[in-house]
Amino acid sequence: MKSLSAPARRGPTSLRRSDIPAVAPARRVSGAGSVLSAILDHGPVARSTVARLTGLSPASVTGHTGRLVARGLIRESAQATGPKGLGRPHIPLEIDTSRHLVAGAHIAVAHSTVSLMDLRGRILAVDRQPHRGTEPQRILGDVAARLPRLLAAHAAGRTVFALGVATGHRVDPEAGLVIEHPQLGWRNVPVRDVLAAATGLQVQVDSHARALARAEQMLGEATTRASMVLLFVGAVVDAAFATAGAIHLGPRSGAGSVAHLPLGSAGGAEPCPCGRTGCLQSEVSEHAMVRRAAEQGLPAASFTELLDQALAGEARAVALFRRRARLVGRAAALLLDMFDPEVLVVVEPGAGRLPQCLADLRAEVAERSWVCDDPERAVVPSSFTGSVLATAGGAVALGVLYADPLGSWTALPTVS
């Protein structure tokens, strides 16, 4: 397999945000991170309201907001709140989107997606290109070369202070390594170091499932903040698990490796690289979908073409996506029973764009899960359907920022 040498280590769409309670479930973030997150959720918002939302003292909130303003992450809104003429007006705070951006890169099996995102998580620009080879040097060099062009066209004077990189399979975010990506043939690839040297940016690396789980917590489905499972179904099939707001990594960065969950008699005879048949990924991956379409005489050169046919109402394509939804529903029922989360988020375009697929998936959960008695509430599609890959990369960097906004960010102003 192709590799770069590194020490082995033992991971634009409208955003859906629900109203949240005054005090959110505990998240493992700094005090400043709690303040920044409250402003993201509710801004423009007064400091006194931020104190109530976070449970911090007014003095602590004042100190944190002063440093966040100095760092260029928040600003005072021009519109003051409170009745006119009754004492000093409350000057609300909001996220400052005028100064800084994050860049994102998602590395898929066949292509990579480079994007720009503002500090509210809004996608500003996307550039998706097919791989010209799967060697790490080639793919990472291509990502680095495309970023300046995207900035020149869309940054509008704003500074990119970090690059987030997401991909599938096993990723060690602390070391910045892609530990293993079988489809690309990568093992122990030092993505962070390579891209930091090529771009001059601080680089954060994580799995796309964990990145999208964090994006849901920050920007999407509010119920994910208590506990969640996120199931990603694409060319790669994997998952992320969170409880009390914290996303589980595992001592070997392997949490969420669900590609080889057995589907039993429901699966087909498609051989899996692991040597067995009936594994989840071998049955529901994009490659498997295109192969099945070809067996049925359905012309689709790519998964995207097959999805377009299903969206246009082509009966055989719709049937393939509904079969996929039922198989994913089996896996979802198992994960719901194992973890009993508040919500399970399915990142799969059929569930996100074809109502009958989401209905089939929920019906399978209703039939098979022992603990989920309300699939309509507990099983939801991604908040980012249509921009999943563009969101994933940027969410890696944005998630680290919101957890510790006063940390060591060399491209941001230093604050005491």
**Tens-place pLDDT, residues 329-382:** 999 999 999 999 999 999 999 999 999 999 999 999 999 999 999 999 999 999
Which pLDDT does position 185 carry in this prediction? 97
Going by pLDDT thresholds of 50, 70 and 90, the confidence category of residue 278 is: confident
d(CA 243, CA 341): 8
Token pair of 373, please? 């008695």
Concatenate the DSSP letters of all residues of 122-153 into one string.
-EEEEEEEE-S---HHHHHHHHHHHHHHHHHH
Going by pLDDT thresholds of 50, 70 and 90, the confidence category of residue 267 is: low
With contact defined as beta carbons under 8 Å apart, do 116 and 103 qualify?
yes
pTM comes to 0.90
With contact defined as beta carbons under 8 Å apart, do 129 and 157 qualify?
no
With contact defined as beta carbons under 8 Å apart, do 242 and 144 qualify?
no
* Helix residue spans in 155-190 (DSSP H): none
d(CA 279, CA 283): 6
Helix/strand/coil for 367: helix
Amino acid at 197: A
Going by pLDDT thresholds of 50, 70 and 90, the confidence category of residue 14 is: very low
Token pair of 252, please? 């070997």
The continuous run of DSSP H or E covering 75 comes out as: strand 74-76
At 177-225, the pLDDT tens digits run: 999 999 999 999 999 999 999 999 999 999 999 999 999 999 999 999 9
Going by pLDDT thresholds of 50, 70 and 90, the confidence category of residue 285 is: very high
